[in-house]
Chain A
Amino acid sequence: MSATAPAYTIPRRSVVGEEAEWCKMFDPPTDSPATPELLAPTNPVPAFIAANVPGAKNTVPNTIRRDLMHGTDLTMYDGKKVRFFTFSDPDVPATGGGVWPGPTIRAPRGVVFHGESSAGGPPPHTIHWHGIEPTPMNDGVGHCSMEIGSYTYQFQPNFIGTYFYHCHRNTMQHFEFGLYGMLLVEPPDAFSGAPAVAGGYPRRTAANLANFPQFPGFVAGDLAGGDPHAYTVPYAAEALWVLDDVDSVWRDKMANAKATFPSHGLLNPGVDDQFFKGDFHDFNPDYFFVTGVPFPAPVGSTVSCAPNVVVPAHLNSGVTGMQVSVNAQVNQTVLVRVLNASYVTIRVRFPVDVVIIAFDGRALGVPPFAQYNHAFLLPAGTSYELSTARRFDVLMRSSTPVNSFATVEFRHNQKNDSLLLNGLIPVTIS
Chain B
Amino acid sequence: MKRRDFLKYGAGSMAALVVGSEMPWLMESRAYAAFQTPTLDLTMTDAMKEMVTHNPTNDARCYFWIYKSNTPNLLPECPGPTIFTTEGDIVTITLRNALDEPHAFYIPGIFDSKAIAPGATATFRFRALRAGTYLYYDNLNAPVNRVMGLHGALVVMPSAAHTGHKITPYTVPSPAVQQLFDDFGSSSHWPGLSWEQGDPGSDTPAFRQYVWVCHQASPVLFSEVGNYTPGADYPAAQFINYFMNDAYADTFNTGVFNRKPHFFTISGQSGHFVHNNPYLCPNHRVGEPALVRVLNAGLYTHSMHIHANHVFVTAINGVSQPNPLWVDTMTLHPLDVWDWTVPFMRPPDVPNVRGIGRADTPLTTISGHPAWPPLEELETFFPPVGTLSGGLVGVDISVQLSPLCYPMHDHSETSQGAQGGNYNCGLISGIVFTGDRNTPGGVTTFPNAPAEHGPEGTGPAAG
Q: Which residues on A are within 8 Å of B, measured CB to CB?
A: 1-4, 6-26, 28-29, 31, 33, 36-40, 109-112, 128, 130-137, 139, 141, 143-146, 154-159, 169-173, 175-176, 188, 223-224, 226, 249, 253-254, 259-262, 264-284, 340, 343-345, 359-362, 364, 368-369, 371-374, 376, 385-390, 413-417
Contacts and interface: CB of A to CB of B under 8 A. Distances in A.
B77 interface: yes
Given A21-B272, A38-B367, A109 B355 contact: yes
Contact of A270 (B262, B391, B462): B462
Given A13-B269, A277-B419, 13 more contacts: A8-B47, A10-B49, A26-B423, A37-B371, A40-B366, A131-B310, A270-B461, A359-B326, A364-B323, A364-B326, A371-B180, A387-B412, A390-B331
A372 B218 CA distance: 40
B30 interface: no
Nearest to A342: B412
B46 A8 contact: yes
Interface in B267-288: 269, 271-273, 275-276
A363 B382 CA distance: 36
A6 B46 contact: yes
B363 A112 contact: yes
Chain A, interface SS category: loop
A133 B458 contact: no
30 contacts: A3-B63, A10-B76, A13-B273, A14-B463, A18-B272, A20-B398, A21-B272, A37-B377, A38-B366, A38-B367, A39-B363, A110-B354, A112-B363, A128-B307, A133-B350, A135-B350, A135-B404, A136-B405, A137-B377, A158-B348, A176-B413, A273-B462, A275-B419, A281-B414, A343-B412, A373-B325, A376-B323, A388-B411, A389-B411, A416-B240
Contact of B98 (A7, A13, A23): A7
Contacts of A270: 461-463
Closest 6 CB pairs of A and B: A260-B421, A110-B355, A3-B226, A278-B421, A387-B303, A172-B413
B232 to A, nearest CB: 12
A413 B45 contact: no
B252 A415 contact: no
B407 A141 contact: yes
A135 B308 CA distance: 8
Greatest chain B CB density within 10 A among A12, A22, A223 is at A12
A24 B389 CA distance: 11
B327 A267 contact: no
A246 B206 CA distance: 46
A226 B354 contact: yes
B121 interface: no
Nearest to B177: A372
Contact of A158 (B68, B349, B404, B425): B349
B365 A271 contact: no
A9 to B, nearest CB: 5
A17 B375 CA distance: 26
A23 B423 contact: no
Interface string B318-339: 0000011111111110000000
A23 B66 CA distance: 30
A53 B461 CA distance: 57
B110 interface: no
Interface stretch (B16-24, B33-41, B53-61): B53-61
Nearest to A15: B463
Given A9-B48, A159-B348, A343-B412, A276 B457 contact: no
Given A21-B276, A156-B355, A390-B303, A139 B366 contact: no
Contact of A155 (B257, B332, B351): B351
Contacts of B310: 131, 133, 360-362
Contacts of B363: 39, 112, 156
A279 to B, nearest CB: 5
Contact of B349 (A39, A141, A157, A368): A157
Interface stretch (B83-91, B162-170, B192-200, B243-251): B243-251
Contacts of B226: 1-4, 6
Contacts of B261: 281
A265 B414 contact: no
A260 B397 contact: no
A155 B422 contact: no
A13 B458 contact: yes
Q: Count chain B CB atoms within 10 A of each CB in A253, A279, A369 and give the residue with the most.
A: A279
